[in-house]
Amino acid sequence: MFPLTEENKHVAQLLLNTGTCPRCIFRFCGVDFHAPYKLPYKVCQKVEASGFEFTSLVFSVSFPPQLSVREHAAWLLVKQEMGKQSLSLGRDDIVQLKEAYKWITHPLFSEELGVPIDGKSLFEVSVVFAHPETVEDCHFLAAICPDCFKPAKNKQSVFTRMAVMKALNKIKEEDFLKQFPCPPNSPKAVCAVLEIECAHGAVFVAGRYNKYSRNLPQTPWIIDGERKLESSVEELISDHLLAVFKAESFNFSSSGREDVDVRTLGNGRPFAIELVNPHRVHFTSQEIKELQQKINNSSNKIQVRDLQLVTREAIGHMKEGEEEKTKTYSALIWTNKAIQKKDIEFLNDIKDLKIDQKTPLRVLHRRPLAVRARVIHFMETQYVDEHHFRLHLKTQAGTYIKEFVHGDFGRTKPNIGSLMNVTADILELDVESVDVDWPPALDD
């Protein structure tokens, strides 16, 4: 039974005689509940074959832009007919085509796939429809409103939905009626599905890593297109995650970074990895532990701890107040002049030393030129021999330690060399701790 009021039945018959489909008749008559739109037909084959894990989904659809033109023509017809009855029909009174389509498909998806439709779901199914008469139905708009249709590099046609809607809002009713039949002619062909795409929102994995090699960069080391070293911390971790999560790609971030020849010891450095379009997303805590062990067994250059799934929002904790955090280092230092233990003991008494660091020469190609104020919170020395001593120091995050030792040709002031009145250089550097309380420690 058609859920139509008496005043709408004449309009419904008029639209039916022009070849309008029953569902669109409901739309123009303002039928805004789901039941009349539903018809059982098979969908979901693409979703089932996609290989994604999901417990809910969100559905999106894109229609050919000339549907807006044809809808506009039908609206003008119904508007005129209702005007004869002293009734009005605004554009907003028509049930949106996308809404009606979702009323048709949502129950089918839920029933076929056994999951709810959820607008906040990370798993999206998008359907794009195309029609061969798009240009034919829309070209008159470009002649009347040329400023609405401008070529774009990433668009195959100027007749996008946004451009067509802009023109329809601009064109006068009398001009439209001169150019386009009202009611619209029955289409020569039906809409065809151009593509059905499935995609899952990114998931995030965090942990802390230790780096034991002095010949391993944090990220791939490529200069002028040439790879300098065969691997990196990023790859040693992410390659395993990509495979297990069946993701398309990843983005790696961390709380600071160490140079290729610097080790990261202690509790390690916090890191997070965004896994893009993962096909597998559900893991038990035991499976994540096993994944961590697999990473650790694969290389003696790194180790990972506290591996866990986190939210996008939680990653912000890693970057919050980054410059206010502290880091602890151990450096083996060489001096050109012979030294005795008493020559370095004064460094132990220096607290909260303020230094100015001009962007180091070695990173000037990738960092803007600036002078950054940093703080050396404390230092502790350990005499080795007349030309070597070990320096333990806690600094403000973002301090360039190598430059604090050798001075970088006077670009860091003061520095160990100037404080001791010697030429100093750094032979080895280890990160002992990164004082960021994230991600949460896990019981191994």
**DSSP symbol at 283:** -
Is 259 marked active-site? yes
Strands 302-310 and 203-211: antiparallel
At residue 361, the 3 state secondary structure works out as: helix
Residue with tokens 């008159």: 140
For 205, 306, 314, the CA distances from 288, given in Å and listed in that order, are 10, 10, 18
How many C-alpha atoms does 305 have within 13 Å on its Cβ side? 15
Question: Closest Cα to residue 89, out of 97, 98, 80?
Answer: 80
Considering 239, 259, 425, 435, which one is annotated as catalytic? Answer: 259
Question: Closest Cα to residue 62, out of 164, 151, 147?
Answer: 164
Q: CB–CB of 25/15 below 8 Å?
A: yes
> In whole angstroms, what is the distance from residue 31 CA to residue 91 CA?
14
At residue 271, the 3 state secondary structure works out as: strand
Spell out the alpha helix ranges (H) of 20-128.
22-28, 45-49, 66-83, 97-113
Q: Which two tokens stand for residue 175?
A: 């001009």
Q: Which two tokens stand for residue 36?
A: 């009349």
**DSSP symbol at 208:** E
At residue 145, the 3 state secondary structure works out as: coil
For the packed helices 6-17 and 66-83, what is the interaxial angle rounded to 10 degrees?
130
What residues are annotated to the active site? Answer: 259
